[in-house]
Structure formats: structure tokens, C-alpha cells
Amino acid sequence: MATEEGIVIHTQDAFARVETTQSRSCKGCTSKGSCHIGADGKRAEVLALNLAGAREGDRILMQFETASLLKACFLLYIFPVGCMLVGAVLGHWIALTVGRDTSTIAALSGFSALILAFMTVRSKANRMGQQDAYKPKIMRILKS
């Protein structure tokens, strides 16, 4: 599990909006420039499940399940590229069988598979986003 500290800025029902800042672990991350969205480039707001009953102003500890994060990364990065490659190889094979231009058919087939993969990713990501396993969770209140 990955952990991050933050401050609760708003609560509503079972969720809390948490403001986090860049930590020491962010320095070595290759995506550090894209994940923090604040005006100063160091703050981000995250919607988290409020399992600890934190209130506005509380300093909290959030946890992210790394297995869920790995599944989401696979779906976003590896799956579309794999589909495109399979589509291109399949298109090349079909073009050889039919006797057509292999480059054009392979390219069209590969990009068609990529578009289908993106549609699948969008559908699957929407369903995954509704599951609690893919949401950060407030586990403990550190200090008010």
C-alpha cells in the first residue's frame, strides 16, 4: 500500500476532499510534473473515502492499494498498445492471405484495434472508478 499525508478541506457523506503536497517520494517519480494540479505545481486535491471520520482541517493519512493501481496502469498503458500490435499483425496476415498491400491493411487494422481498445478502456475505467478498491482511503487522523 502506498501512503500519503494530506489535509481535509471538505467533507460530504462518506467522502472527503483532501489536499496533498509533494512528498520526498515524488522527487524520484517520472510523472511528478503531471500529477500535481495546483497553481504552484506542488498541491493536488484528491477525493477519498473517509473511513476514519475526519473533519475539515484534520491532517490525515491516506492509503492507495498498489494492486489496484497496477491494474489501472496496465489497462491504460499496456492493453491499448498490445491491442494495436495484435491488430497490425492480424491485418498483415489477412493482407497476405487475400493478396493485398500488407502495409496499408496492417496499419488500418492496427489503428482500428487501437480505437476499439480505447473504447474498452473508457468503459472499463468508468466501472472501475465506481469500485472502492480504486479509491484512496483515509485510514487515520494524524492531527487536527
The verdict on 9 and 34 lying in the same domain is yes
**pLDDT, position 25:** 59
Q: Domain span at residue 84? A: 68-129
The verdict on 13 and 40 lying in the same domain is yes
pLDDT band at 38 (very low <50, low <70, confident <90, very high): low
**pLDDT, position 46:** 83
Give the CA distances from residue 115 to residues 48, 102, 110, 125, in Å, rounded to whole numbers and listed in that order. 31, 20, 9, 15
The verdict on 30 and 73 lying in the same domain is no
The label of the residue with cell 496492417 reads: 106
120 or 35: which leads in pLDDT = 120
pLDDT band at 30 (very low <50, low <70, confident <90, very high): very low
Q: Which one-letter DSSP state was computed for residue 131?
A: S
The verdict on 115 and 138 lying in the same domain is no
Stretch 33-59: mean pLDDT, rounded?
75
The verdict on 28 and 15 lying in the same domain is yes
Please tell me the distance from the alpha carbon of residue 55 to that of residue 41, in angstroms, as a whole number. 25
The verdict on 35 and 90 lying in the same domain is no
The average confidence (pLDDT) of the chain is 84
The verdict on 80 and 109 lying in the same domain is yes
Please tell me the distance from the alpha carbon of residue 84 to that of residue 110, in angstroms, as a whole number. 5
The verdict on 12 and 45 lying in the same domain is yes
The pLDDT tens digits of the residues spanning 89-133 come to: 999 999 999 988 999 999 999 999 999 999 999 998 888 878 888
Task: Assess whether pLDDT exceeds 60 at residue 43.
Answer: yes
Q: Residue 40 maps to which CATH number?
A: 2.40.50.140
Stretch 15-29: mean pLDDT, rounded?
72
Number of domains within the chain: 2
The verdict on 124 and 139 lying in the same domain is no
**pLDDT, position 37:** 55
The verdict on 73 and 103 lying in the same domain is yes
**pLDDT, position 115:** 97
The verdict on 78 and 55 lying in the same domain is no
The verdict on 77 and 125 lying in the same domain is yes
Per the CB < 8 A criterion, the answer to whether 134 and 107 are in contact is: no
